[in-house]
Amino acid sequence: MLFGIKNLMEAILKAKILIISLILIFINSIALADEHSLQRQLNKQSEIIKAQSKRIDELEFFIKEFKNNLTRNELIKITTKENLDNIKEIKTPNKPVDMVSSGKGKSYNPETAFFGPLPQLKSTDGKYTLGMMGLIQLDAGIYNQEANLSTNNDLSDGFIVRRAGLTLAGVSEKDWIWFLSYDYADSGENPNDGLRAAMGIYRGFKPWWIFAGLFGNSVGLDTSNFSSQRQFMEAAMPQATFIYGAGSPAMGVAATYRGKEYYMRFGFYGEPYKNTSTEDEGLGVHARFAWQPIKLRTDSMHIGLTGYYRTANNSNTFTDGLRDSTLRFRSKGESAVSGDFILDTGIITDLDTYYYAGYEFAKVNGPLSIQTEWGVLGIDRKTKNDALFSGGYIQGGYMLTNDARNYNAYFAQFWRLKPKLSITEGGLGAWEVALRASTIDLNDSDINGGEASSYTLGLNWYMTTFTKTILNIVHTESSGALSEDFNVLGIRLQIEF
């Protein structure tokens, strides 16, 4: 390719020399020719000049098109220092850069980028960036229930701002990433509103990433997915209860490792930053391992193990002569609009250590996706009988349009979906129908937290990459002190920016 363009340039130069030579010969021949021969010679030379000019125009057009298909590095290789200044600068499109990626010049791709579409601020030397993203989730719910006679727990219809979060994030000195995230919505959830993340990440030891600060507790698949990227309005009831119950977000240090076919993350965590106690803080080891034999975005397989082992965060209060802890496991089911709990172990006393162990599985094959988890939670107590809880779920989805759920192997979780043809492009967006069944049992030993099973039919409309509407019809059957059998029709409007 390089020799070809050199030959073309030489051809142009030779053509110009030939024209000048012909003109000189023509001028010289004028003095020697008579009137008849002069006219004949003039016509002949004119035809030659026109033919050569046409050829030069064709060569120049070809070279211009050829240059447009070259990269800047290729152009520099074939251009000498003297004539480089005469070549117009080749400009690249002014597109925002994916903040998580360290590669220069990478354009923004919403299906892989960590952040939303807002442009980022960047220092003049390019070593520091600052970006902002946000999430708004507006929920509504209508309940139909059979009230529990012992508590008369009334699940109320209504509207809530489920989440209203802002995140500031940036890159410093290329290998440092920092996050500061705050949720302004007081939805009464566990975890609560407030500071959601304040952490730094060092990625200079690739393929290792090191995390430090306040962030999620690194356990489970559905709970590791961002709330904005789940198939349903709420995380599956069993895993949300077991994993969020241990505290998330929490202060800690963690590391991730990405292999060719697997993802691994483990860390050491304290208690949730809102927990208060005058005693020593509870500590835990959390881990997650995923085998990824197929790791394309729309054709993937995820098989994993996950869990934690934690010591008690003891309280300075006592119940029946036994020391209290800050640990309890409870759930509102798979709708948060009402705000009432239907399962609750109460504060667990006499606690020594506790642990969770479970498996993860997910499969995406074009429009079809399947996801399931099951786990057990063990309570080790000092003098009382130990307890063992369990629960899990299975869910599946099918895209009604020519789209697919987006699996991001880099973080071993699901990511935002970009419709093939969004409503802003004159299309219908992406449509998905989904089903989920889940069950949890919080009864064992002298702990009677209740048990419940839930069944959900969902319809998801991905209007654009950053706007989504979710419709959930949920049927829940439960037993226990706070239990309710109920149906709920829930709807959410979600906007990312």
> Under 8 Å CB-to-CB from 279, ≥6 apart: which residues?
313, 314, 315, 316
Q: What is the pLDDT of residue 115?
A: 73
Neighbours of 61 (CB within 10 A): 10
Q: What is the pLDDT of residue 430?
A: 97
Q: What is the pLDDT of residue 76?
A: 47
Mean pLDDT of 478-490: 90
pLDDT band at 12 (very low <50, low <70, confident <90, very high): low
Task: Say if strands 314-319 and 322-325 run parallel, antiparallel, or are unpaired.
Answer: antiparallel
Q: What is the pLDDT of residue 315?
A: 75
Mean pLDDT of 59-69: 61
Q: Which residue has the higher pLDDT, 39 or 6?
A: 39
Q: What is the pLDDT of residue 25?
A: 46
Mean pLDDT of 17-42: 52
Q: What is the pLDDT of residue 81?
A: 43
pLDDT band at 312 (very low <50, low <70, confident <90, very high): confident
State the alpha helices, DSSP H only, in 171-253: 237-244
Sorted by where each begins, the domain ranges of the chain are 2-84, 132-496
d(CA 4, CA 1): 5
pTM of the model: 0.76
Q: What is the pLDDT of residue 332?
A: 92
Q: How far is CA 386 from CA 283, 330, 444, in A?
A: 20, 18, 8
Q: What is the pLDDT of residue 31?
A: 45
Q: What is the pLDDT of residue 107?
A: 65
pLDDT band at 435 (very low <50, low <70, confident <90, very high): very high
pLDDT band at 480 (very low <50, low <70, confident <90, very high): confident
Reduced to 3 states (helix: H, G, I; strand: E, B; else coil), residue 227 is helix
d(CA 367, CA 403): 6
Assess whether pLDDT exceeds 70 at residue 152: no
Report the mean per-residue pLDDT for the chain: 82
Q: What is the pLDDT of residue 24?
A: 46
Neighbours of 259 (CB within 10 A): 10
> Under 8 Å CB-to-CB from 162, ≥6 apart: which residues?
137, 138, 139, 185, 187, 233, 336, 492
Q: Which of 15-19, 230-234, 295-299, 356-360 has the lowest mean pLDDT?
A: 15-19
Q: What is the pLDDT of residue 99?
A: 40
Q: What is the pLDDT of residue 300?
A: 96
Assess whether pLDDT exceeds 90 at residue 422: yes
Q: How far is CA 269 from CA 178, 347, 417, in A?
A: 18, 21, 31
Q: Which residue has the higher pLDDT, 55 or 172?
A: 172
Q: Which residue has the tokens 């085998």?
A: 291
Query: Among residues 436, 439, 356, 434, which one has the least CA distance to residue 392?
Result: 439
Q: What is the pLDDT of residues 113-129, one digit of tens each?
A: 777 788 888 888 888 99
Assess whether pLDDT exceeds 80 at residue 474: yes
Phi-psi region of 154 (alpha: psi -120 to 50; beta: other; left: phi over 0): beta
Q: What is the pLDDT of residues 233-285, one digit of tens each?
A: 999 999 999 998 888 888 999 999 999 999 999 999 998 766 666 677 889 99
> Under 8 Å CB-to-CB from 109, ≥6 apart: which residues?
98
CATH of domain 132-496: 2.40.160.10
Q: Which of 106-120, 168-182, 301-315, 365-379 has the lowest mean pLDDT?
A: 106-120
Phi-psi region of 125 (alpha: psi -120 to 50; beta: other; left: phi over 0): alpha
Assess whether pLDDT exceeds 70 at residue 83: no
pLDDT band at 102 (very low <50, low <70, confident <90, very high): very low
Q: Which residue has the higher pLDDT, 206 or 10?
A: 206
Q: Which residue has the higher pLDDT, 191 or 136?
A: 136
Assess whether pLDDT exceeds 90 at residue 490: yes
Environment class of residue 392 by beta-carbon count within 10 Å: exposed (0-12), middle (13-18) or buried (19+)? buried
Which string of b and e fits 77-111 if b means at least 16 CB within 10 Å?
eeeeeeeeeeeeeeeeeeebbbbbbeeeeeebebe
pLDDT band at 19 (very low <50, low <70, confident <90, very high): low
Backbone phi, psi, residue 27, to 5°: -65, -40
pLDDT band at 481 (very low <50, low <70, confident <90, very high): confident
> Under 8 Å CB-to-CB from 366, ≥6 apart: which residues?
298, 299, 399, 404
